[in-house]
Chains A and B, each alone.
Chain A
Amino acid sequence: MSKNKTQTGISAPTFWEQYRRKPLGMVGLSIVIVYVFVAIFAPFLTPYNPKQILLADRIAAPIWFRSVLPKYDDAPSTIRTTLGPDEWAVSEATGGRLVAEELEGAAVSVIEFEPVLKDEVIPEGEAALLEIEEYPKEPEKSVVELSYVVPYSYSPPKTFGLTFNYWVDASSDSKTELEFVIETPEGKQYNLWGKSYSGTLGSQPARIDSRDLTLKQRLGLTIFDDPAPRVFSSKGDYRLLLTARSIPGEEPTRVYISNAEFYIPGNVHGLLGADHMGADLWTQLIYGTRISLSIGLSAAAISVAVGTAVGIICGYLGGVVDEFMMRVVDVLMAIPTLPILIILGAILGKSVWNIVLLISAFAWMGTARLVRSQTLSLRERVFVESAKASGASDAYVMLVHILPNVLPLVFAGMVLRIPSAILTEASLSFLGLGDPRVATWGRMLHNARGFGAFTTLAWWWLVPPGLAITFLSLAFVFIGNTVNEILNPRYRERS
C-alpha cells in the first residue's frame, strides 16, 4: 500500500550523522576547513601583503634552503635599512655639522655649513691686487662625512642599492659636492656616486643601483660586470659613507637628505621565496586561497541560483519560455566554454567580478536542465495540486513546494561546481586573463611561466599553487560526491 516515491525530507542532524561516517567526505571537509581557516586568517599568517614588491631578489629561493641545500648555505637574505638623522654617525665634520630636522612629519638629516665672511673672500684695495696674483686659488673646503655600519655575513649578493632625496639651500656663490662610498671590511673604498652643484638646488632623487651603467663606469667596469659581488665580496662590517663637501657662500649652506633606504635584496626569502618582482610567494599563496575560495563559492552559488531559477520557471510554466530557454541551454552547452571565456574576458576587462560572472554565465545550464526535469515531475505531484486547490499562486508553489524539493539535488551539484569554477579561474588567470591586481593561484602560475620559473627550475614557485588548486578541488569533489550519495542516492549529477 505504501508508495515511496517521495524523498523524505532529511533533517540536518540526520544528514550529519550519515556524513560523518563517510571517510572521503570527512577528508574533503577537513581540507576545506583548513583552506577556509587560511583564507580568514591570511593577514596573521604572513607579515607581508601580496602587493609588496622588492622584498627580495627576483626569484629568491625559500629561506629554509639554507639549512637543506649546501648551495644556499650562506645565501644572503634581504637587508633593508632606513637611514635617518638617528642612524647616521658623523665620522668627520669640518666647518659643518649634522642637524636633525622634521619636515612635513618626516625626519630629515641636514648638513649645515657655516657661512664664510665676505671680506675674507674678496679683499679690497691693495690686498686685492695681491690676491689676484694668487688666483685661481682653491678655497678651503668644509667637509661633513656621515657613516653607517652594515654587518654583512653572507655570500656575495647580486645587487644592492641606496635611494634618497636631497636638496640644497645656499647662496649662489657657494659650491656643494655629495659623494657616496662603500668601504669594505678590508678598507677598500668604492666610490659609487657623486654630484656637485652651485648655489641652491631643488629636490633631487638619488637612485644608486649596482646594476646602473654609470655606476659601473665610475668603478671602471664593463657593462657585463656585476659590481655587487665585487663590493660585498667578503663577510664583515661594511661602512656606508655619505660625504658632503662645500665651499660655503655668505649664507649658511644647508644640505637636506631625506631618509635614505639601503637595500641588499636577498637570494633567499620567506617560506616560499619571492617572485620576479621580489614579492613574497607564501603571501600570494595564502591570499590566493581567499580569492580562489571566494571565486569558487560565488561562481558556484550564482550559477546554481540561476540554473535553479531557470529550471524551476521553465519546468513549472512550460510553454514558449521553456522552449526558448531550453534552446539557449542547448546552444550554450554546445559552445566550448574556455575559448568564449577568453574572448569575453578580453572584451569585458579583467576584474575578479567579471570573471565570476563569466564563469557563472557558462556554468548554469546543467543545473537548469536537472532542475527542470525534476520540476516537471514535481509539478504533477498531488501536493502541488492540493496547494492550488487552496488558492496558491504559481510563485507560491514554485517557492514553497518545488524549490525545497529540488534543493538537495542542487546542493550537491553546487559543491561539485566549486572546483570547476576554481579551475576555470585558474586557467583564465594562467592565460593572463585574470585580474592583474589580485594574487590568485592561476596568476602565480602565469607569472611563474612568464618570468622564468621554468627556466630557472624554481619549483617552489610552481608547485605550491598547483598543489593548492589540486587539493582544494579534490576536497570539494569528495564533499560533493558524499553529499550526493546521502541526499540523492538515485541521482548522480555529472558536470
Chain B
Amino acid sequence: MGAVSATEQERSVGHGEVILDVENLVKYFPLRRGIGQSLRREPERAVKAVDGVSFNVKKGELFGVVGESGCGKTTMGRTILRLLEPTAGRVTFEDIEVTALSVEQLKQLRTRMQIIFQDPYESMNPRLDVHRIIAEPLRIQGMVSNSKDAIPYIEKALEDVEMTPPEEYLYRYPHELSGGQRQRIAVARALVLNPEFIVADEPVSMLDVSIRGEILNLMLNLSRERGVTFLYITHDLATARHICDRIAVMYLGKMVEKGPTDSLVKHPLHPYTRALIGAVFVPDPKRKGFGKVLKGEVPSPVDPPSGCRLHPRCPIAQDICKEVEPELVSADDNHMVACHFALG
C-alpha cells in the first residue's frame, strides 16, 4: 500500500459537480411469515437493511462507505444500481433519476454505472473463460456482435488493469487464476464499458494483504487518470483512509457520520466512528472516548433500537438518545454527524 501516501488525499477533486445523489434511500427485506403468523395477522416484519440514507458523490471522487459487517453497505450499493428495488427514496445519477427508470432505460444506464464485487471467486461464472467474462457486458449491451470484435476492447481493459500481455490470460478459466488476478479481471470487466461510476463493494476484503495495495492503487489510478468516480464500500477504515476523498460511516442501516477523510479520521465526532478508529489506529491517550470498545453485540436490523440506534452500546448515551433519533447535521464545512452529544 506504500505507493499511496496520505498526503495525496489533499489533492483537489473535480469540485462541486455532483454525479450521484442519494436521497433518503430505504431498503427493507420483508421476512417470510409462517402460515400461523399470517393467520394471527401478525404485522409483516422486515430486515431494515438500509433505513433512510442520504449523501452525494462528486465527479471524480473516491467516496468511501465504512461500517461493520451487516450494517447494510452492500444492500445500499446494490440498491443504488437498482440491482435491488428500493423500498423508498430516490437515486439520481447526473440528471437521470435511476429509481424511476424503465428496464430498457436502466439497461442503457448500466454502461455508465458498474460494480465490482467482493468475492472474485464467486463473481465469475466458472464455465466461462476470461475472454467471455470480459466480453459479456459488451455483448449484453450489443456493442459487439461476435467474440472476435470484442478482442480489442478486452485487450484494452486487460492492459488497464495491468494484466499484460493480454493474450496470456484471454482463454484462461477463473480457476486458473489467482485471487488477485481474478479481482483484476473483475475490474477489467467493470471497465470494459467505460463507465463513469463504479461501486466497488469490498473489492479487496477477500484478497491477501500483499495484493490489496495493488488493487487499491489500481482504483486510485483509474480515479486520478481517467476520472472514474468510485463508491468504495469497506468495513476497513484503514484502506478507506488511504484512498478516499470523503468517507461516510454506517451503523445499522443509517449514516452516522460523513466528511472529508482527514477531518473524519483526525476529528471523529460520533462515538461509533471513534470506536471504529480506536479499533484500527493506535489510540491517542489524550483524547477522551477513543479506543473504547463498544459494549454488547450489534442489534438485529429487524428490530433496531428506538431513538439513536447506537444508544444501547454507546458510552455517552443519555435518556434523550432512547427516544429521539438524531439528525445528520453539519459540524463544520463538509463534516456531518448524527449524534445528540457530538457537538456539545
User: Is B truly associated with A?
Assistant: yes
Residue numbers of A with Cβ under 8 A of B are 1-9, 381-383, 385-393, 396, 400-401, 404-405
In the complex, whether B179 has a CB less than 8 A from a CB of chain A is yes
Do the beta carbons of B106 and A391 come within 8 Å of each other?
Answer: yes
Sample of 17 more A-B contacts, CB < 8 Å, known A1-B208, A400-B125: A1-B207, A3-B119, A3-B122, A6-B126, A6-B175, A8-B126, A382-B122, A382-B123, A383-B124, A386-B117, A386-B123, A387-B140, A390-B114, A391-B108, A391-B137, A396-B140, A405-B125
Q: How far is the CB of A9 from chain B (nearest CB, A)?
A: 4
Residue numbers of B with Cβ under 8 A of A are 78, 81, 83, 106-108, 110-111, 114-115, 117, 119, 121-128, 136-137, 140-141, 173, 175, 179, 186, 189, 193, 206-208
CA–CA, A379 and B122, complex, Å: 12
Q: Which of B127, B136, B193, B207 makes the CB contact (< 8 A) with A387?
A: B136
Most chain B CB within a 10 A radius of its CB, from A2, A6, A386, A392: A386
CA–CA, A293 and B106, complex, Å: 49
Do the beta carbons of A389 and B125 come within 8 Å of each other?
Answer: no
Q: How far is the CB of B228 from chain A (nearest CB, A)?
A: 16
Residues of chain B within 8 A (CB-CB) of A7 are 126
Interface of B is mostly: loop
Do the beta carbons of A6 and B110 come within 8 Å of each other?
Answer: no
Q: Given A1-B208, A388-B83, do A382 and B127 touch, yes or no (CB 8 Å)?
A: no
Do the beta carbons of A401 and B140 come within 8 Å of each other?
Answer: no
Q: Which of A3, A9, A392 makes the CB contact (< 8 A) with B140?
A: A392
5 A-B contacts, Cβ less than 8 Å apart? A3-B119, A9-B127, A386-B115, A389-B115, A396-B140
Do the beta carbons of A401 and B125 come within 8 Å of each other?
Answer: yes
CA–CA, A391 and B114, complex, Å: 10
CA–CA, A288 and B189, complex, Å: 54
CA–CA, A381 and B127, complex, Å: 13
Q: Which of A3, A9, A393, A400 makes the CB contact (< 8 A) with B121?
A: A3
Q: How far is the CB of B265 from chain A (nearest CB, A)?
A: 28
CA–CA, A392 and B83, complex, Å: 11
Do the beta carbons of B110 and A9 come within 8 Å of each other?
Answer: no
CA–CA, A462 and B206, complex, Å: 66
Residue in B closest to A405 when the chains form the complex, CB atoms: B127
Q: How far is the CB of B98 from chain A (nearest CB, A)?
A: 13
Q: How far is the CB of A11 from chain B (nearest CB, A)?
A: 9
The 5 A-B residue pairs with the shortest CB-CB distance, nearest first, are: A390-B137, A9-B127, A391-B107, A391-B110, A6-B126
Q: Which of A4, A9, A388 makes the CB contact (< 8 A) with B173?
A: A9
CA–CA, A9 and B124, complex, Å: 12
Do the beta carbons of A2 and B121 come within 8 Å of each other?
Answer: yes
Residue in A closest to B81 when the chains form the complex, CB atoms: A389
Q: Which of A8, A389, A400, A401 makes the CB contact (< 8 A) with B83?
A: A389
CA–CA, A156 and B115, complex, Å: 91
Do the beta carbons of B119 and A382 come within 8 Å of each other?
Answer: yes
Residue in A closest to B186 when the chains form the complex, CB atoms: A386
Q: Given A391-B106, A391-B140, do A1 and B127 touch, yes or no (CB 8 Å)?
A: no
CA–CA, A401 and B133, complex, Å: 11
Do the beta carbons of B141 and A5 come within 8 Å of each other?
Answer: no
CA–CA, A146 and B121, complex, Å: 93
CA–CA, A442 and B121, complex, Å: 52
Residues of chain A within 8 A (CB-CB) of B193 are 390
CA–CA, A390 and B137, complex, Å: 5
Do the beta carbons of B179 and A2 come within 8 Å of each other?
Answer: yes
Do the beta carbons of B107 and A5 come within 8 Å of each other?
Answer: no
Residue in B closest to A5 when the chains form the complex, CB atoms: B122
CA–CA, A381 and B122, complex, Å: 7
Residue in A closest to B207 when the chains form the complex, CB atoms: A1
Do the beta carbons of B122 and A1 come within 8 Å of each other?
Answer: no
Most chain B CB within a 10 A radius of its CB, from A6, A381, A385, A389: A389
Residues of chain A within 8 A (CB-CB) of B173 are 8-9
Residues of chain B within 8 A (CB-CB) of A400 are 125, 136
Residues of chain B within 8 A (CB-CB) of A6 are 121-122, 126, 175
Q: How far is the CB of B38 from chain A (nearest CB, A)?
A: 15
Q: Which of B124, B126, B206, B208 makes the CB contact (< 8 A) with A386?
A: B124
CA–CA, A348 and B26, complex, Å: 57
Q: How far is the CB of B238 from chain A (nearest CB, A)?
A: 19
Residues of chain A within 8 A (CB-CB) of B141 are 390-391
Residues of chain A within 8 A (CB-CB) of B125 are 383, 400-401, 404-405
CA–CA, A5 and B137, complex, Å: 24
